Amino acid sequence: MTAKSRKKTAASPKRTASAEKERIESLRRFIRACSPELLEDPNITSVGIGRKVTDGRYGRQLVVQFTVATKAEQEALGALGTNLIPETIPWEGVEVPTDVLERTYEPHFRTVEEGESPARKTRLDPIAPGVSVGMAGTVPPGAGTVGCIVFDKSDGKPYILSNWHVLHGGDGELGNEVFQPSPHDDNRTHRNLLGVLTRSHLGVAGDCAIATVEDRSFTREIFELGVVPKELGEPELGDKVVKSGRTTGVTHGVVRRIDTVAKINYGAEVGVRSIGCFEIGPDPTNPPADGGISLPGDSGAVWLFKHGNGRPSTVLAGLHFGGESVGGPDEHALACLSTSVFEKLEISLTPPTTEAIQATTGYDAGFLSEHVDVPQLDAGLARNAVSLDGSEVIPYTHFSLALSADRRFPFWVGWNIDGASLKKLSRSGIPFVKDPRLPAAAQVGNELYENNRLDRGHIARRADLLWGSLSEAEKANSDSFFYTNITPQMDDFNQSSKNGVWGQLEDAVFADVDVDDLRVSMFGGPVFQDNDRAFRGVRLPREFWKIIIFTEQGELRAKAFLLTQNLNQLEALELDEFRVFQVTLGEIEDRTQLRFPVVLHRGDNLLVPEVTADRTPVENLSSIDWGWLRPPPLSAAATKPAQWNQPRTP
């Protein structure tokens, strides 16, 4: 009986594993509850869950493991402003054993030496995870690593994932330009722009950030590992992992502390922050060539779990961000938990399904009391239109457009404005990007706007689109920055002597007209002419048109405007003033070869002089004719616009 009893109660491997799992869960609760108070001790640098270290060897006993900047005898603790860490800590009715290691940490961003693979520090197209990335303006310049390609959970937009201290930094802000390779590795920033910082976080959830990928393609395979991360995993003690970083290349490690909170000094601008993480030590069966599994410059690399055969898996363990300080006694790396990072940044390893992405309705022809269809392209324009899903009409949130394949700008953009539900949202951190649904070669990107006086000008004004529910407005805010809605405009386009009349037309109709239901529809776009000036291989429109459509007392009205812009001296300081003219729909049709619906022509009763030289520019908003019969002011002495009678072809 005794022998049987012993055999029956002996701990099986399965029961031992179950008990250890329960103990780890209990210790996790301890870390989450007590780490903020424990880390207030100036000598404690981290607290986490690990295995007892004796004479440099890791045993099997689970402990709450503290790291301290300086180990000292009890009588010296007062001078350090610290307290003695007890051998056990009471928690949930159990005395939890502790362990104390001497160790400090630092971010792995500042570069200290060359890495093993020069290809990691060159400009790549397509870019790949595992290569150099960074921001400009840091002194000295620093470098980090592209971790992996991720996707926005809501709209599927692709981003690169790296660290806060790689892409943001203490004096940075959302919208910072990001370069691949980092300016540390190649200072030709004019050719290495990758995108802009979009979201970032520095705190217990992690040291993490994402940036857009503009005007470059990408591969999701990690450099020199050849795998694509597809899932997020939770690290456990003893897990084997591998990473591919800008400085040390491919290195292998073993998870030796989990549920750790570490204090990291991010410099004078930011100071000390507590970061949730886990710790990785060298894999003794696959040690690094130089003894270091990570070095400055590896920040932002992702750690992947390894299969039993030693090959990298597709499961992401964490995001590398730091390691031991220079001269530290023990080689190790720190990584943020992948689940926390992805939740905080609202990203995924795979793009959401089409059904999961919020439906994009585009311009609504039934928005007003009468149905107003989009402009029609004549046969020649239609042959040159970019198609999406078999249609020349490309929808976005609250606006649609037709895109010229040759000119790479829109023929027209149509949008709706609900003045009753407009929201005020920041544009900070929203990048200008090409529409991934369309061929990149059919869109003009950032290459046109660098180092000159050209601004990226919205056709559908951003502020007009921010209405509806908050999620709708946020989606419209982001959609407005697609390059398909952008045309080049001089940097003082709306700051001319006309007091920005062009940019105030939408505001003026709400201010000066009793608009039914506070609803307005708009069409606008550039005028394409054969003799438009070519700049950097792109012919720049020098005229723009806009049509405002609304109802007043149940009657539909349409008011058209033309703006002429002198782009003949892009590099000159002098610039002719912009001229805004109120015109008829027929004049817009003649100049653009677009055809507007009959219902709009019925609403356009503007009376204009037969001689264009007698046309007076709109000097201010009060001179706009919003009524049916009142003609615009005439002046025989008015100056004729230089481009008014220029030939026009698309």
Mind listing the pLDDT tens digit for each residue in 522-561?
Answer: 999 999 988 888 888 899 888 899 999 999 888 999 999 9
* C-alpha 357: how far from chain center: 17
User: Which position has the higher pLDDT, 604 or 130?
Assistant: 130
- The yes-or-no verdict on residue 430 having pLDDT over 50 is yes
- The yes-or-no verdict on residue 8 having pLDDT over 80 is no
Query: What pLDDT is stored for residue 644 in this prediction?
Result: 30
Query: What pLDDT is stored for residue 615 in this prediction?
Result: 64
Mind listing the pLDDT tens digit for each residue in 237-266?
Answer: 999 999 999 999 999 999 999 999 999 988
Q: Range with the lowest mean pLDDT among 290-304, 352-366, 375-389, 485-499?
A: 485-499
CATH number of 338's domain: 2.40.10.10
CATH number of 504's domain: 3.40.570.10
Q: Are residues 175 and 212 in the same domain?
A: yes
Q: Are residues 191 and 122 in the same domain?
A: yes
Beta bridge partners of 572: none
Mind listing the pLDDT tens digit for each residue in 308-320?
Answer: 999 999 999 999 9
358 inside domain: no
Half-sphere exposure of 341 (CA within 13 A, CB side): 34
Q: Are residues 66 and 116 in the same domain?
A: no
Q: Are residues 451 and 536 in the same domain?
A: yes
Of 73, 101, 129, the last residue of a domain is: 101
360 inside domain: no
Residue 588 backbone dihedrals phi, psi, to 5 degrees: -65, -45
- Mean pLDDT taken over the chain: 83
Q: Are strands 249-265 and 44-54 parallel, antiparallel or unpaired?
A: antiparallel
Of 75, 101, 127, the last residue of a domain is: 101
> At 167, is the pLDDT very low, low, confident or very high (cuts 50, 70, 90)?
very high
Q: Are residues 79 and 164 in the same domain?
A: no
4 inside domain: no
| Beta carbons of 81 and 302 less than 8 angstroms apart | no
First and final CA of the chain: distance in angstroms?
A: 98
Tell me how far apart the alpha carbons of residues 528 and 530 are, in angstroms, rounded to a whole number.
7
Query: What pLDDT is stored for residue 9 in this prediction?
Result: 44
Query: What pLDDT is stored for residue 510 in this prediction?
Result: 85
640 inside domain: no
Q: Are residues 548 and 581 in the same domain?
A: yes
Sorted by sequence, the CB contacts under 8 Å of residue 328 that are 6+ apart come out as 103, 104
Q: Are residues 243 and 294 in the same domain?
A: yes
291 inside domain: yes
| Beta carbons of 443 and 214 less than 8 angstroms apart | no
- The yes-or-no verdict on residue 613 having pLDDT over 80 is no
Q: Tell me which range, 152-156, 192-196, 574-578, is most confidently predicted by mean pLDDT.
A: 192-196
- The yes-or-no verdict on residue 280 having pLDDT over 60 is yes
- The yes-or-no verdict on residue 573 having pLDDT over 90 is no
591 inside domain: yes
Q: Are residues 510 and 605 in the same domain?
A: yes
What's the pTM value of the predicted model, to 2 decimals? Answer: 0.57
Mind listing the pLDDT tens digit for each residue in 50-71?
Answer: 999 988 788 889 999 999 888 8
Q: Are residues 146 and 263 in the same domain?
A: yes
Task: Give the residue numbers spanning the domain of 120.
Answer: 103-353
Kindly state the average pLDDT of the residues 140-160: 86
Provide Rg for the chain, Cα atoms: 31
Half-sphere exposure of 116 (CA within 13 A, CB side): 17
Tell me how far apart the alpha carbons of residues 390 and 393 are, in angstroms, rounded to a whole number.
9
Q: Where are the beta strands (DSSP E) in 34-93?
A: 44-54, 57-68, 88-91
The domain tally of the chain equals 3
499 inside domain: yes
Reference 331, options 377, 295, 277; nearest CA is 295
Tell me how far apart the alpha carbons of residues 207 and 341 are, in angstroms, rounded to a whole number.
8
Q: What angle do CA 483, 489, 495 make, to 5 degrees?
A: 130
Q: Are strands 312-324 and 231-232 parallel, antiparallel or unpaired?
A: parallel
Q: Are residues 342 and 320 in the same domain?
A: yes
Q: Are residues 331 and 258 in the same domain?
A: yes
Tell me how far apart the alpha carbons of residues 127 and 213 are, in angstroms, rounded to a whole number.
9
Long-range contacts of residues 461-464, Cβ cutoff 8 Å, at least 24 apart: 461/503, 461/506, 462/427, 463/422, 464/415, 464/417, 464/506, 464/522
597 inside domain: yes
Of 74, 101, 128, the last residue of a domain is: 101
Q: Are residues 488 and 618 in the same domain?
A: yes
For residue 413 the two structure tokens come to: 């953009």
**DSSP H stretches of helix in 395-483:** 462-465, 470-479
Q: Range with the lowest mean pLDDT among 297-301, 377-381, 591-595, 624-628?
A: 624-628
Mind listing the pLDDT tens digit for each residue in 342-394?
Answer: 999 989 998 876 555 555 679 999 999 899 999 999 988 999 999 998 999 99
